[in-house]
Structure 1
Amino acid sequence: MPLTSVDKDLDALTLTIVADFPVPVRRVWDAYADPRRLERFWGPPGYPATFTRHDLVPGGRSTYYMTGPDGERSHGYWDFLAVDPGRSFEVRDGFTGADGEPDPDMPTMLMTTRFEEAPGGSRVTTTTHFPGVEDLEKLLAMGMEEGMVSALSQVDDVLADLASFAADRSAEAQLLGDTQVRVARLVRGPVELVWQAHHDPDLLRRWMLGPDGWTMPVCEVARSVGDTYRNEWEQEGGGERFGFTGELLESVPPCREVTTERMIGTDGPATLNELTLTPVADGTLLVLVVTYPDAATREAVLATGMVDGMETSYARLESEVLARV
């Protein structure tokens, strides 16, 4: 990483790190927007980060943990206070316990990150504002400056690795912790249309079908928080039939939706499904984080070929819906 400067200002209570990259601004922005890429540099070497949530929108939140060499975890969060897409974001940066609650013994900071064109590429300026001198000194003594510098030193490799995040790659699953799985897919189409395709029954019936040979005779969409939805699939010509139902818990169009999901006719615990849509250069980054009641249930569901079925549906979304709108 071409590190331009590191400036500690004890009077202003700030730490500012400036770095230049030989790529367009949008490529660097997308590296911060995609949790898969962000994980590859935000944790310093030896302490990789795992993002369990990442909503790069005003009012959004990111939650993550860094795993040390001995398996110990340090948890943190960002609350997005302002986002100017492609140019800057401002977050409240803090620490949490393993339960996700803010750590009362640790300070919260204001962190701003600006993305600008620069000779030969782009410049990223990250400024952290501390609430007091004692907080600044405490975090610097913990190695915050060295950690941020070493983390950002990994950005070059992420920016060079375009193949891992290309638009022609299939849906990919990553296990998060003991009970979660994250499925990510770059969908060729604008965020607004991808959101619409998830909430218009006529469109859903055209693409959310999984493997060929199935129809969707029941498609009841939840319109408001607290509403329930119901989807049922049936083999063409009649035969096997199954479905899912659940409740809409959170909706922030066109970027985030949280629902529960339970297979119709079963009494087992529901999953929690968190859908995030983020605009990137090649379309929309679709990320679905599913939380299962336990690891065994997660493994059993993944073994059914769930991700392959999702990929078939997402490919159909591109070809049968987005390409024809």
Structure 2
Amino acid sequence: MPVIDITTDTENLTLTVIAEFAAPIERVWSAYSDPRQLERFWGPPGWPATFHTWDHTVGGRADYSMTGPRGETSRAYWEFTEINAPHGFTVLDGFSDENGVPNPDMPVGRMQFSFEPTADGTRSTTINWFESIDSLQQVIDMGIIEGTRAAMSQVDAVLQDLREYAQGKGTEVEMLDDTHVRITRMVEGPRDLVWRAYTEPELIKQWMLGPDGWEMTECEVGLNAGDRYRNSWAPVGDTEGEAFGFEGEMLLVDAPRRAVQLERMQGTGGPDVLNDVTFYEEDGATLITVLMDFPDKETRDMILATGMAEGMEQSYARLERAVLAVRGV
């Protein structure tokens, strides 16, 4: 976790975030000054950022939005007032409407990003100044502290090359809190083909099988927000177990970057689990990230105890083979 301290100062109307990265200052600067890299962590899990404009010059502006798992959008902007590469930059930070026009009803602050080399990498200090105690309290109430910690937990994956970060690690499960779990798996294959393997029934049936000895007996996909989907599995031959399945609704589809769905066991009234799946490609490999949002800790623990992660790893290994097999299609 890069964040080592977050403090608020009601006298000076500031919120300060201190983080440390195991990367040189030039690499950290690159992550903060390239919108495509910044998109990967500027926004907590489940609310990824998209930068629509990026003019990284003094007086220039960057407009961005963050999209929630149900398609809800929050839009904001930066206006660059100082730039001192690679040691930092300062922006005016405000909210805007759906067209990028500044929202006068929301607070405008000043934010300074500072980077300094350390013996082990780089220390980042981000200071947010606010116009009033009410403005500071407003963003605290909106969850800026929790959101910042969650967002910064994604930086390590950005600072390293994808293969250096994820190759050979298999399916990794990270508990973010009592109701959120992040699962990552790198697949050797381009994102477009991984997306196809996730959305084309004839490919899904080749890999989404869990442990050996099971087959997929039903595969109905949803390709648009609002579509229903349904998947079923059954044991083959002497394999022990009872047939089961999941069904649900697609909440958001942004091909080939992201798919969000509500899922529940077939034949039950829930509980629903929200699965937010994103796909990031680098140098011909794709990082699959699944953010699972459970209704409570008990449901989280019950589902993880089923051996879900082990079954996912076996499925992802098949996915990798399937992706490679259709590479030339």
* Aligned mate of 1:52, from 31, 40, 45: 45
Secondary structure (helix, strand or coil) at the match of 2:44 reads strand
Q: Which amino acid aligns with 1:209?
A: L
Residue 78 of structure 2: aligned partner: 110
1:92 touches 1:111 (CA, 8 Å); kept in 2?
Answer: no
Separation in structure 2 between the aligned mates of residue 286 and residue 124 of structure 1, nearest angstrom: 32
Contact 2:258 2:276 in 1 (8 A): yes
Moved over 6 A (4+): 28-31, 122-125, 160-164
Deviations, residues 136-173 of structure 1 (Å, cap 9, x unaligned): xx955xxx43x643699248x95479886132211111
| 1:188-221 deviations in Å (ceiling 9; x for gaps) | 1111111111010000000001111110010011
1:21–1:207 Cα change, 3 Å: same
Given candidates 244, 262, 283, the residue that maps to 1:242 is 244
- The answer to whether structure 1 residue 210 and structure 2 residue 210 are counterparts is yes
State the alpha-carbon separation in 2 of the partners of residues 178 and 320 from structure 1: 34
Deviations 1:301-321 (A, max 9, x none): 111111111111111101133
Q: String of CA shifts for 1:268-302, please: whole Å, max 9, x gaps.
A: 22111111111223511111111111011101111
Whole-Å Cα distance in 2 between the matches of residues 250 and 164 of structure 1?
A: 30
Consecutive unaligned residues in structure 1, runs of 5 or more: 1-18, 39-49, 56-60, 62-78, 95-99, 113-121, 133-137
For residues 215-257 of structure 1, the C-alpha deviation after alignment (integer angstroms, 9 at most, x for no partner) is: 0010011133211111001111386200000011111111011
- TM-score for both structures, normalised by structure 2: 0.60
5 Å matches for 1:27-176?
32=38, 35=41, 51-53=44-46, 55=48, 61=49, 79-82=50-53, 90-92=62-64, 109-110=77-78, 128-130=91-93, 139=109, 144-145=111-112, 148-149=114-115, 153-154=122-123, 158=156, 159=159, 165-176=165-176
SS in 1 for 2:78: strand
Q: Tell me, in whole angstroms, the C-alpha distance in 1 between the residues paired with 2:206 and 2:44.
A: 32
Give the length in aligned residue pairs: 243
Equivalent positions of 1:162-241 (< 5 A) are 165-237=165-237, 240-241=242-243
Name the CA shift for 1:287/1:241 in 2 (closer, same or farther; >3 Å): same
Using a 3 Å threshold, how does the CA distance of structure 1 residues 223 and 101 change in structure 2: closer, same or farther?
closer
Counterpart contact for 2:180–2:292, Cα < 8 Å: yes
Deviation for aligned residue 1:82: 4.1
SS in 1 for 2:46: strand
**8 Å Cα contact 1:207-1:314 kept in structure 2:** yes
TM-score by length of 1: 0.61
Query: How far 1:20 sits from its partner (Å)?
Result: 5.4
1:263/1:93 CA distance change after superposition, 3 Å: closer
Q: Does structure 2 retain, via aligned residues, the 8 Å contact 1:276–1:286?
A: yes
Q: Which amino acid aligns with 2:190?
A: P
Quote the Cα distance in structure 2 between the aligned partners of 1:295 and 1:262. 16
Q: Distance in 1 between matches of 2:276 and 2:168?
A: 23
Paired position in structure 1 for 2:308: 306
The 2-side partners of 1:243 and 1:317 are apart by 19
**Which sections of structure 2, spanning at least 5 residues, go unmatched?**
1-23, 56-60, 67-71, 95-101, 103-107, 125-154
C-alpha contact (below 8 Å) 1:206/1:321 kept by paired residues? no
Contact 1:209 1:216 in 2 (8 A): yes
Residue type at the aligned position of 2:51: F
Change (3 A) 1:178 1:278: same
1:293 to 291, 295, 301: 295
1:45 counterpart residue number: none
